[in-house]
Every structure is written in structure tokens, then in C-alpha cells.
Structure 1
Amino acid sequence: MTIEVAAVVAYPPQGAPNWRYEPVKLRTVKDHEVQIRMVSTGICHSDIYESNIPDRTAGIPYPWIFGHEGAGYVEAIGDGVTHVNIGDPVLLSYDYCHNCDICRSGQPAYCLEWRGRNRAGETGLFETKDGRDAGGKFFGQSSFASTSLVQKTSVINVKDLVHSDEELKLLAPLGCGLMTGVGAVLNSAKVQPYDIVMVTGIGAVGLGAIAAAKVLGCKEIVAVDRVATRLDVAKEFGATKVLNTCSSATSLVEDVRKLVNNQRISSVIETTGVPGVIASALSAMGWHSKLIQIGIPPPGAELNIDFQEFFAANKVIECHCLGDEAPKTLIPKMLAWWRDGKLPVEKIVKFYPAKDALEAAHEMERGTAIKPVLIW
């Protein structure tokens, strides 16, 4: 038995994501799955990145249904699901196994089965209007469908935390980008009030990092970007100083050191993935400092460092993914911050009808929308 739902379906790219808003068929719920009626889903750079891969023959080929910042209501429950009931409001995040050593250590974002569960996807969930199987369970959820079958681990029950449809629609982005930035500061950098934190790249991830640094009371929070309007938003999230790299005639290293009066920068949250920015951030860091690398550099990118200087200054580079904490505990913390006015999600969200997904993605890439959210 199947039901017909609307979806943003990704087909082979044509120099850019090739998304089509169209009806698809969805099978019925199975064990360990939850059927979710989506009310909204954030668009993340990962959705665009995955949609731009020209040849997916190594895994499930196109068509695909992406989306991994979903919010909605439980419509049906498979056997083995005990933490939600029909009608509960939920936020969605990634899937993990619970059983490997890393999951048991409390860091499920690095689950040994993560790639298979979140990027490889699953067949047999969706069928396109011309009868083709479409890849699903992206990040355990494929929230670019108006109704989807979601792996139970990806479902966070927020029935006691969210009080209306409007709140639920707004908070969809907590499941990936904002969570990644918040967790980078909270769990990986573990900053202290005496620390100076620098954040390079002011998208949703960078803004989450800035908000967390403010909550933790860091004495200086430096936001670095090349778009003035994003730096204005960074101030609203808690940045104490901003650096526009487009309006400077000197180097990033010189500019940042001048901004902080040559004080020690103890943590850098790097979200751009631009090799030159990464190298500059490493140079600007102080003694016994840590760079948390979140942005993904382009294929083949290399980083050259003076290892003697790097070693002598006791610097650290640490790659970071998805908040370094289980979503079921991190998302409620973020919700509490939002309700207290410490994580102003409403300042960065721009809503679009789901049928306008491509326009929303283009605006995100142009920098005119920080966090597009599709409404179903």
C-alpha cells in the first residue's frame, strides 16, 4: 500500500542542482520507522553539495530525495518505536547505530556506520511519477518530502518544548547547521570566559558558534566574513568584533591581531573550508590554541604548515561534525536558549513554499538568505 505525497526530487545536476517539485508515492511504515508529516525543512549546504554530485553510481543513483533539517508531526509508528506517539511534534536530525564504541562514548556524530546510515540512503521508500525508485532516508529522514519515513533515531520528541505550529516551523534548522556551530564551541572547543573566539564564515553554523560563545561568556567573539549584512547579524548573535575581509587592504592575520590588541586567540571555529582562510586562521591563533574545522575544503586541497612553529606553539586542528553530542540532548539545550532569547533563530530564517526550493537554494548560494526554510 502506498500514499501520494509531494516532494522536491533531485535529478542528475545540470551545472547546478536539478530539483523538481512533483508527486511521489511513499510506502507504509516498517519496524523502527516513524511516518512524519513535515511542516517545514531547512535547506543546508549539504543538500546542495549532494545534489551537485554528477554521478551517484557508486551508491543509489538519481533520482533522490534529500533534506535533513525536518520538523513535523508523527502520523504512524512502526514496531520498536517507543519515544513518540501519534500527533507528537518532532524535530529531526541524523541517524546513528547506538552500538559502536563511538556511539557508546556519547559522540554519535562519528558513528562507525554514519556514512551508510546518512549518506548512502535506502531504496524502496519513494517511487517517482514515472515509476522509478528514488533514494531516501538521507540523514535518516529525507525531509524534502511532505510526508516521509524516518529512522527512529533521527526523531527528537519536542512535545513539551514547542507550543505551536509556528514555533515548530521556525525551529527546523536546529537539527544540523545551528547544532553543529553550537556544539563546536560547547563540546569541542570547551571555551572559558577568559577565551577569545574567532569564527570564520557567518552562515547558520558560524552564527550557532557565536551564540554559544556568548552564552558561555567569552570575553571577545570575533566574526569574520566578506558580506557586511551577515556581520550585522553576527553582532545580534553576540559577536563583539567583526572583520569584513572585502574592505581590508591588509592580511586577515594582521587585521585580527589588531582587533584583539594582540591578545591570545584561543579558539577558531572555521566554517568556510577555504584553504587560504584556514591557513590565515592557523597563523592568527595564539599559544595553546585550537582550530575546529567544520567547513569542507575542495577536493585535492592541501594545507601547508610550519610544523616546528605549530608544535612549539602547542596548536591543535580538530575536525568537527554535527555538534559532538547526541541530538536528543543538544537540541533541547538549544531550544531552551532560543526561548530565553539567546539563540535568535528568527533573525536568520527566511520561509519559502516548498515548490520554490530551487529559488531558496539560489538565494542561499548568493548570500541573500542565511537559512532558507521550506514550508509544506
Structure 2
Amino acid sequence: MSTQSSYEYPALVSYEPNPKPVWKLEKVKIPPKAPGDHQVKVRLVATGICHSDIIVGSVPGNAGPGFSYPRILGHEGVGIVEEVGSGVTTTKVGDKVILSYNYCGNCDLCRDNKQPYCLQWVALNIVGKPGLFEDAKSGETVTGGFFGQSSFAGASIVSETSVVNVTNLIENDNELRLFAPLGCGVMTGSGAVLNGAEAKTHDIVMVTGLGGVGLGAVMAAKIAGCREVIAVDRIASRLDLARQLGATKVIDTSAAGEKGDLVGEAARVVNGQRISIVIETTGAVPVIEACMKAMGKRGRHLQLGVPPPGTEFQFPLSTFFSDNKRFECHYLGETTGQEQIPKMIEWYRDGKLPLEKFVKFFPASDAMAAMQSMQDGSSIKAVIVW
């Protein structure tokens, strides 16, 4: 533990949206105090951009108590430990770490190994904490603590629960940067298939939306040896990549218009066989409704994509009941970074998780272009390098 003076760091600071996110590359300070109990100071070397950063950065500042701008988002950070607070046992200065979400560890859900559903999850991961950063010029408080990390900064004070020590698991710094998406997107998709749905070899899995989360699900379904893996998207290049990563069938929803006949196409590509698992990552109501219809009896629909506030969808309760279909909302792969990240690194070593096929690196100065590339489909997983 040390008490070094305050340093300035580059940061991607989020301001009131208009209505899209407004991110500005500026200088911030971390106040001159050592990390607190069970906290770690990490110098970030890279961070993935997740659609959750875009969604939260689009929320007005008056959305709820404690939610305010300016703030620093980012939650797929990787870096090197610079300082540790008292009580920290999982890492030391100089260790290389991958960051994930925060959880209290004390509520009944955390004690039941359901940390993604922690009763304090919103307070610890979304609302954030004022005073963790200061504007380097004005001294104005900048809110941090997003997902326990706020990795859109060159350095951050991080909750120990967000830290995964990978010092002995990686080979070089380039590999560390490549692993940034493991902290959220790829963990969410792969964990949904293997931990949430507990997919088996007899299952037919349909994955809608082929971003980092969806492709994580496709690769996990292949790892599980599922009988069929149906990949659904409207961007041809993503469908081609999904085939390379394990999809046995693909459906291009652009071919039949915006809504398309996803129900009919899904039945056609599997010759009427029962689709037993749906991993839905788009959050789009027409896709959700189509998936519920396409899914077979006793099927499980895992909703990963976040719909806009106020969104509703319709499905006949009589059909829902008679076919025993299940609709579930799943967070973060039903696991923790400490549990899932070492497994994913092992899959990468075995060639089962070829992240290099869909990760694209951007300098921090091009962060807005990186965000736009994810929205227009020209990149799948953008990673900012500090």
C-alpha cells in the first residue's frame, strides 16, 4: 500500500446525451489518496466498448437518484496493478489483470453463487460513485465506479471483486489487450449457453444478433457440441464469420425485409426440428416475438439484449402455457469473471475462442469512431488502446 500523489490520466468522459452518447477525450485526476479497503488502483492498457456503455451513455442525467454527468463509463478493462488497498488478497503491484463487474458478496443471491443478480447490482455497477475522478482543469467531480471499474480512463480505482488476476495465464501485453472483451461481452454470451441454458449435445440453439455477445454464444454452443447452431443477423459478413466460429445454419433477416419471416426460416433450416434454446441479444421486439414463436415445446428463451425503457412484447399466454415455453432474463453468463475468464483463456489456447477474428483495435483518440463502427456494423468488438 502506498500514498503516492495525484496523477493526471487521459479519460473518455461521458456528458449529457443529445440524445446519443457524448464522449470527450479529456484529462482527469485520481485524488491523492491510496486505494481504500479491498480496492486496487489499475493502470488501464485497453478497454472494450460494449453496447451497455452506449445504452447507459444515452440515459438522461435525471434518470434517477445518483445518476449524473460527467461520468466515466467502460467495463471491459485490462491493465496492470499500480497500488493495492488494505485487505486485498487476490493481487499485488505489477500483476496483470482483466476487469469485470462488481457485486456485494453478502446478499442471499451472492451467497447462492448468483452474483450477476446481486441485490446491490444497480447501485454498485450503474449509478456509480462521485469523487473517484476530478477534471484535471476545473477540479469538478467526475463520477466513476461504473461496473466497479470505469475502464474508459487511463487508470482507475477498482473494486477487488472486479479484478481477475491473469499474470500467470497470459503470454504478452498484446494478448492482454485482446482479452479485454472477456470481462463482459464474450463472458455473457458463452456463459448463457453453458451456465444458463446448460446446453447439451442434443440441443438445437438459435442465436439472434452476432455482436460480441452473440458470437460468444455461437462459439460456446460449438464447445458444448450442440446438434445445430443457428446464427441470425442482417449483416452478411457477420453470418459468414458465425459459420467459421461454429454455426451450422445461418438466417439473413435482411433478405425478407426488416421483420422478415424468422419463424418460417428457422423451421426451414432445421427441417422442422425442435429449437430447444434461444439466445436473444438484439433487444428488438419483433425479433423477441419471433423467437418465442420459433422455439419448440419446453424451449428456453434467454434474453440477453436490453430493450429500451418501456418496451413491451406480446405472446399468447395459452400458447406459452400449453407449450411449456420459458422466458428468462440472463445477466453476465450466470457467472463471475473469477470463475469464467480462466476457462475462456483456456478455450482460446485450444483454438475454440478465436477472439482475433472479431476484435478491432482503436486509439483512444478515435473512440467516437469506434463506437460508430459498432453501431453501423463495420466492426464487431471495438477495443480502445490507451
TM-score of the superposed pair, with normalisation by structure 2? 0.95
Tell me if the contact between 1:185 and 1:213 (Cα under 8 Å) persists in the aligned partners: yes
Residue 4 (1) aligns with residue 8 (2) = yes
> 2:7 and 2:231 mapped to 1: Cα distance?
47
Q: CA RMSD, aligned part only?
A: 1.1
> 2:109 and 2:158 mapped to 1: Cα distance?
22
Taking every aligned residue pair, what percent have the same amino acid on both sides?
52
Q: Which structure 2 residues correspond to residues 217-366 of structure 1 after superposition, within 5 A?
A: 217-248=225-256, 251-366=261-376
> 1:156 and 1:35 mapped to 2: Cα distance?
13
1:22 paired residue number:
26
Tell me if the contact between 1:60 and 1:123 (Cα under 8 Å) persists in the aligned partners: no
How far is the alpha carbon of 1:14 from its aligned partner? 2.3
Amino acid of the structure 2 residue aligned with 1:37: R
> 1:282 and 1:196 mapped to 2: Cα distance?
14
SS at the partner of 1:76?
strand
Amino acid of the structure 2 residue aligned with 1:211: M
Tell me if the contact between 2:61 and 2:67 (Cα under 8 Å) persists in the aligned partners: no
1:78 paired residue number:
85
Residue 127 (1) aligns with residue 134 (2) = yes
Which ranges of structure 2 fall in alignment gaps of 5 or more residues?
A: none
How far is the alpha carbon of 1:308 from its aligned partner? 1.3
How far is the alpha carbon of 1:15 from its aligned partner? 2.9
Tell me if the contact between 1:202 and 1:231 (Cα under 8 Å) persists in the aligned partners: yes
SS at the partner of 1:119?
helix
What are the Cα deviations for residues 156-178 of structure 1, in whole angstroms up to 9, with x where unaligned? 00011111000000001000011
Residue 189 (1) aligns with residue 193 (2) = no
1:152 paired residue number:
160
What are the Cα deviations for residues 176-198 of structure 1, in whole angstroms up to 9, with x where unaligned? 01100011001111111011000
> 1:299 and 1:101 mapped to 2: Cα distance?
27
> 2:145 and 2:310 mapped to 1: Cα distance?
29
> 2:323 and 2:238 mapped to 1: Cα distance?
32
> 1:41 and 1:113 mapped to 2: Cα distance?
24
TM-score of the superposed pair, with normalisation by structure 1? 0.98
Tell me if the contact between 1:66 and 1:138 (Cα under 8 Å) persists in the aligned partners: yes
> 2:294 and 2:198 mapped to 1: Cα distance?
19
> 1:173 and 1:71 mapped to 2: Cα distance?
9
> 1:147 and 1:188 mapped to 2: Cα distance?
33
How far is the alpha carbon of 1:325 from its aligned partner? 1.0
Amino acid of the structure 1 residue aligned with 2:188: T
Amino acid of the structure 2 residue aligned with 1:343: L
Tell me if the contact between 1:92 and 1:175 (Cα under 8 Å) persists in the aligned partners: yes
Q: Which structure 2 residues correspond to residues 194-213 of structure 1 after superposition, within 5 A?
A: 194-213=202-221
How far is the alpha carbon of 1:13 from its aligned partner? 1.6
How far is the alpha carbon of 1:54 from its aligned partner? 2.2
Amino acid of the structure 2 residue aligned with 1:298: P
How far is the alpha carbon of 1:310 from its aligned partner? 1.4
> 1:305 and 1:51 mapped to 2: Cα distance?
31
- Shifted more, 334-343 versus 292-301: the winner is 292-301
> 1:71 and 1:175 mapped to 2: Cα distance?
9
> 1:209 and 1:100 mapped to 2: Cα distance?
29
SS at the partner of 1:186?
helix
